[in-house]
Amino acid sequence: MDVLVLVLDLFPLTNGLSKETLARAVHHILVFVNAHLALRFDGRVAVVAATASKGGQLILASDAVADSVSDGRNSIGMYKQFKQTDDVIAHKLVQLLSDSKSVPADASSSCVASALSIALSYINRIKKTNTDSTIPIQARILVISVSPDSPHEYIPIMNTIFAAKKDDVIIDVCRLLGSTSLFLSQTAASTGGVFVQVSDLDNLVTVLL
């Protein structure tokens, strides 16, 4: 069983990131999530948002998506689970954007470490509920990040590295638009993951796939 958890760094959304840029990024992310679900019949996908106002927040778990969407009608030519997944992510993102006014004025970064902890907890729950020992669970976390490194995040991120290595969880990092992140590049290297930097959002889905 393949388990993929996306950690979305949403702090830039409260710092004036344009709606057009956001829409392009979300489109590519949805394509990637749906591709993962399509290629792996037993795969699980979860999405965790990292924000400055609420820390980490689980906004999607594919095993519970049917219970999270009240309108399960299909769009023409669109697989039902894809439609439900898109609806949940879009709905939760709108909620988080509407809460952006509550971000502290002195906030300088998102809570990526908190989101990573939630991602690891989700993976641990999946592993514990797997009653078939013949089915190996391969888990990865993909961090899609824009925020700059923050000194107060260093120790929490190091703790998540130790936890990920203990549970054999690989952490990949996709860095968008901004400067590099020493903390997250170390996270990827320490857990056997990949660190990539994307300067053109039009190439995002190609890099993710």
Within 10 A of 104 (CB to CB), how many other CB atoms are there? 8
Cβ(109)–Cβ(149) below 8 Å? yes
Distance CA 98, CA 55 (A): 15
pLDDT in tens, 15-40: 555 667 777 777 788 888 878 777 76
Q: Which domains does the chain have, with CATH numbers?
A: 2-208 (3.40.50.410)
pLDDT in tens, 36-93: 777 766 778 888 887 765 566 676 666 555 444 444 445 544 555 556 666 666 666 6
Residue the block writes with tokens 């004025």 = 105
Residue the block writes with tokens 């660190």 = 195
Q: What's the predicted TM-score (pTM) here? A: 0.79
